[in-house]
Structure 1
Amino acid sequence: MRTLVGDLVACRLGQTAAGTLGKRLYDALQQSIQKGMLAPGTRLPASRDLAAELGVSRNTVMAAYEQLQSEGYLTTRAGSGTFVSASLPESDLSAVERIVSADVPSGQIALSRRGEQLLNRAGASQRQWGAFMPGVPDVRHFPHKTWHKITRRLNLRLPVETLSYSQHGGYAPLQHALADYLRVARSVKCTPEQILIASGTHQSLDLLAKMLCNPGDRVWVEEPGYWGHRSVLEINGLETVPIAVDDEGMTLPAGVAPPRLICVTPSHQYPTGAVMGLARRQALLRQAQAWGSIIIEDDYDSEFRFGESPVPALQGLAQDENVIYLGTFSKTLYPGLRTSYMVVPDSLTARLKVAHSELYRGGYGLTQLALAEFIREGHYAAHVRRMRQLYGQRREALVGTIRRELGAEFIGQDSHAGLHLILALPPEIDDVALAYVLEQQGIWTRPLSVYYRGEAKRRGLILGYACVEAEAMTETFMPVVHALLPLLAK
């Protein structure tokens, strides 16, 4: 049986014909170790096995092993085998440096202007869990046993087509289950054929930017708004135009050039939490229709409203095909599932599905079938109900703590929804510096000011409460209070 180490050594032996076979084998192993191709702790094949793979005598392999062991490159463990040493001999460090420097060109590879811009404006945090990281659900409550039963059952009779690439924008069972769910839960007007399954909202937006826009086209984005929208749009060469947000979400400025796309979060504006009222929604739909603009509705966490009636999707109000609805399971289930969906107009459905297959090679057949069963059997709706109650209790605990420890004026716009709220700060307090201080104490927040492209109009901390138990909310929030009070006293 062939091994990866055997293949590596055979390849390196074939690259040189100078010297005896024993010397060439020794050099191949030594250089593979020095260059890191054989990492410390790697187990080498038994001498007899490697000899058979390479078609050489066992004595030749044994001699190379023994020489490398005497020089400190290899170690042996009784009954376990031969392994690459944890550290290289000190005498060979300079040799390693010479090899590495010979393989790596001097200087850095230049990025494109778009690439540099993307990195300079990147907003993704290295930490994606814990208090008070916004936008993250409590994944500990995911019903793993139920999910395991479904996936185990499906694995026993998994259709062969689910093991290949998806050619139809997702698998039909999930498209049908989602269409039924969205019509009832979000008042979305759709058929199963209009649903396209993607690997996250970013991928959906990337596809729409590529297929609906030309480089240089203008796109309205909310100000402040989600950094991910801007990043995806701008890497595709589009001009993002920040449009101010008020207490009802995106405003409708007069005397501006019509955009190709309008990206909006009407049910729970991110990050302010504003909810777009009916009159504003109807005005936005009329304006987009008059311009021929397409509205991209990101409905990222609309399932979580506490104590108020659900806000129906903007898409359900549209009289023509100028709204594309984006949804995700990242907030209701868990982000690592990497499954989202969009409802696209009939006239675009077939073309977008072909483009999605061409660009991203859809798959995740088992996951999609499991999600379909999870929804149809009622587990999804039940899980959302449980989490809505849990998050509602945690939100109440955080709001109560803020009122008690700081005062009601520190609570930003309260939409009674979502997985985060804003701790409002006076304009003289540097929210970026405050967030950094809290990060050193293991408290993860996001400063509101960084969500503005232009000059920040408001300062605050975005607090995600989903991952903090209600009983521990006050204790967990106290480091924020202790860091803030000295700043307020100045």
Structure 2
Amino acid sequence: MELHLIIEGGRDLSEQVYSQIIQAIRSGRLTRGQQLPPTRLLAQQLGISRKPVADAYSRLTYDRILVAHTGRGTFVGELGGAGARRVEGAQLASRDTLEKWMGWDTPFRQPFAHGRSEYEFIGGTPSPAHFPQEEWRRCILHGLRQDSVDRGRYAPTEGVLELREAIVRHAGYARGVRCAARQVVVTNGAQQSLDLLGRILLEPGSVVAVEDPGYPIARSLFKSQGATVACVPVDREGIVPSKIPDNARLIYVTPAHQFPLGMPMSLGRKTALLARALEIGAIIVEDDYDSEFRYEGRPQDSLQSIDTHGLVVFLSSLSKVMLPELRIGYVVVPESILPALCIAKHLSDWHTASMTQHALAKFIDDGHLVKHIRRGHSIYASRREALLRGFATHLAPWFEVVPSTAGFHMAAFAHKYVDIDLLIRLGRRAGVGLYSLEGFYFEAQPRQGLFLGFGSIDTLDIDTAISRVRGILLQMDCGAEVLEVSD
């Protein structure tokens, strides 16, 4: 890589090299400890003789701006790299538009803004310690080898065929999804899936129906695309179809494990939801984010599997099951919207990284994903039992858990008044990371309660954490004002 210097004319060459290196350091383009090219190489790149470059290096070294190490090279010294230059901001024509983006709600962008607690109940985070790293490493090496076959070429926008075929088998096996490989589009996580669906289905002012309480990121994403978001209440069976507006184009739901409350949508409610979508011509987005982990009752069909009119888009995030940093998910789409979605994906980022896709296809086909889910199921089941036991005994005077049969988070409603904000603050100071349900409500009256993820806490730590929470609640019952002042 060439060092970007511009030589003009043939006079004062050494001075030009000297002053431009100084300028590069002051602007932050060259930083402290960064290595410079050898004098011979830089002279060749600039099209001048070596002597002016060597003279400039000597002056810079004498001034302690550069440091020369025998056998290693020349580096920017301690006095260099004071940081990037300050640029005076221009009055941008788009400043009002940019200002609007600062107002969007992004609650999960910094999940540990207050620091990670010793006993952490944050939701949506799987257990990384139990991920099969060695098996994944071998699959990554396989992906690198496969990638070398088509090196220098773009991959298919909808995804590598081997992965889409593997997803068809996995989704059919685990969730009863019925589709062909051509209906599967691989994305950079469920978040991109939602973004692409909004692009092709919505226009400014279009109505989107979302659950309330529900996933705040989806709500904000659709609003950022100019849509009008209609918040539809949920009850014990899921979203209430009769409350969905007649002009809704898109209905976003989490039927297998309602986010954030956790209850599954009943079969009768699924049927009613499909009928309502057919009546108004809306597309249903079924976000199936963590239902591979099921603990009670009989398996339930996905909404997509009982759709007979091509109204349901099934989306899932393999990042949630495996590791969040993978950022890989997929959508199963009806034929009617497939071409538009592929065009939007192509315009957005062309395709998801092919090496990761090849690796994931092998990970699925070799049985590692199923084994990982089974192992995770056992781990999460024990944590879930410990949490349910703690709420049924130690925390029963204050909270009642919302019935849930899947996933690795649950919700608990307070059945008497509890100052949730105070409980969270005191819990954090006691080493317990607790989270409120309030932020998941939008128009509906928020219910007091806790959102409890158990992907990041060990089973043996749950009893200790519950005991600490119980101690805080007992003190709060005795006088929250004293606690607040003394804290």
The alignment's TM-score, normalised by the length of structure 2, stands at 0.88
- Which 10-residue stretch deviates more, 315-324 or 360-369? 360-369
SS at 1:398 equivalent: helix
In the other structure, the counterpart of 1:76 is 68
2-structure distance, mates of 1:480, 1:238: 41
In the other structure, the counterpart of 1:377 is 366
Q: In the alignment, residue 39 of structure 1 is paired with which amino acid? A: T
Match of 2:309 among 313, 320, 334: 320
SS at 2:295 equivalent: coil
Deviation of residue 248 (structure 1)?
1.7
1-structure distance, mates of 2:200, 2:263: 30
Match of 1:245 among 230, 234, 241: 234
* CA separation of 1:409 and 1:210: change in aligned 2, threshold 3 A: same
| Aligned-residue CA RMSD (Å) | 2.9
Does residue 85 in structure 1 map to residue 77 in structure 2? yes
Match of 1:127 among 80, 94, 111: 111
In the other structure, the counterpart of 1:34 is 26
* CA separation of 1:163 and 1:438: change in aligned 2, threshold 3 A: farther
2-structure distance, mates of 1:114, 1:262: 28
8 Å Cα contact 2:413-2:448 kept in structure 1: yes
SS at 2:192 equivalent: helix
Deviation of residue 65 (structure 1)?
2.6
2-structure distance, mates of 1:355, 1:118: 25
1-structure distance, mates of 2:48, 2:416: 76
Q: In the alignment, residue 63 of structure 1 is paired with which amino acid? A: D
SS at 1:330 equivalent: helix
* CA separation of 1:362 and 1:441: change in aligned 2, threshold 3 A: farther
- Which 10-residue stretch deviates more, 360-369 or 209-218? 360-369
Q: In the alignment, residue 27 of structure 2 is paired with which amino acid? A: K
Q: Report Cα offsets for 1:144-167 as digits up to 9, x if no partner.
A: 212222332454454734763333
Deviation of residue 110 (structure 1)?
5.6
Q: Report Cα offsets for 1:377-419 as digits up to 9, x if no partner.
A: 2221121111111111111122223344322652430303211
Q: Report Cα offsets for 1:127-157 as digits up to 9, x if no partner.
A: 3687222101012222121222233245445
8 Å Cα contact 1:194-1:344 kept in structure 2: yes
2-structure distance, mates of 1:80, 1:440: 50
In the other structure, the counterpart of 2:483 is none
In the other structure, the counterpart of 2:328 is 339
In the other structure, the counterpart of 2:59 is 67
In the other structure, the counterpart of 1:199 is 188
In the other structure, the counterpart of 2:343 is 354
In the other structure, the counterpart of 1:105 is 89
In the other structure, the counterpart of 2:175 is 186
2-structure distance, mates of 1:67, 1:453: 64
1-structure distance, mates of 2:244, 2:103: 33
8 Å Cα contact 1:162-1:365 kept in structure 2: no
2-structure distance, mates of 1:30, 1:179: 58
Aligned positions of 1:219-368 closer than 5 A: 219-254=208-243, 256-368=245-357
* CA separation of 1:301 and 1:162: change in aligned 2, threshold 3 A: farther
1-structure distance, mates of 2:136, 2:368: 9
Deviation of residue 261 (structure 1)?
0.7
Deviation of residue 320 (structure 1)?
0.9
Deviation of residue 376 (structure 1)?
2.1
Q: In the alignment, residue 36 of structure 2 is paired with which amino acid? A: L
Match of 1:50 among 42, 57, 62: 42
SS at 2:258 equivalent: coil
- Which 10-residue stretch deviates more, 114-123 or 177-186? 114-123
1-structure distance, mates of 2:42, 2:98: 48
Q: In the alignment, residue 294 of structure 1 is paired with which amino acid? A: I
SS at 1:399 equivalent: helix
1-structure distance, mates of 2:148, 2:57: 49
* CA separation of 1:225 and 1:294: change in aligned 2, threshold 3 A: same
8 Å Cα contact 2:123-2:409 kept in structure 1: yes
Deviation of residue 455 (structure 1)?
5.6
Deviation of residue 238 (structure 1)?
0.5
* CA separation of 1:70 and 1:486: change in aligned 2, threshold 3 A: farther
Q: Report Cα offsets for 1:266-296 as digits up to 9, x if no partner.
A: 1100001121111111111111111111111
2-structure distance, mates of 1:447, 1:18: 69
1-structure distance, mates of 2:167, 2:80: 56
2-structure distance, mates of 1:402, 1:117: 40
* CA separation of 1:53 and 1:353: change in aligned 2, threshold 3 A: closer
Q: In the alignment, residue 140 of structure 2 is paired with which amino acid? A: T
SS at 1:40 equivalent: coil
Q: Report Cα offsets for 1:204-260 as digits up to 9, x if no partner.
A: 111111111221110101111101211221111111111112222212345843311
In the other structure, the counterpart of 2:482 is none
- Which 10-residue stretch deviates more, 312-321 or 144-153? 144-153
2-structure distance, mates of 1:159, 1:22: 45
In the other structure, the counterpart of 2:441 is 452
8 Å Cα contact 1:432-1:449 kept in structure 2: no
Deviation of residue 451 (structure 1)?
1.1
* CA separation of 1:250 and 1:26: change in aligned 2, threshold 3 A: same
- Which 10-residue stretch deviates more, 442-451 or 197-206? 442-451
SS at 1:229 equivalent: helix
2-structure distance, mates of 1:88, 1:289: 66
Deviation of residue 51 (structure 1)?
3.2
The alignment's TM-score, normalised by the length of structure 1, stands at 0.87
2-structure distance, mates of 1:120, 1:209: 16
In the other structure, the counterpart of 1:215 is 204
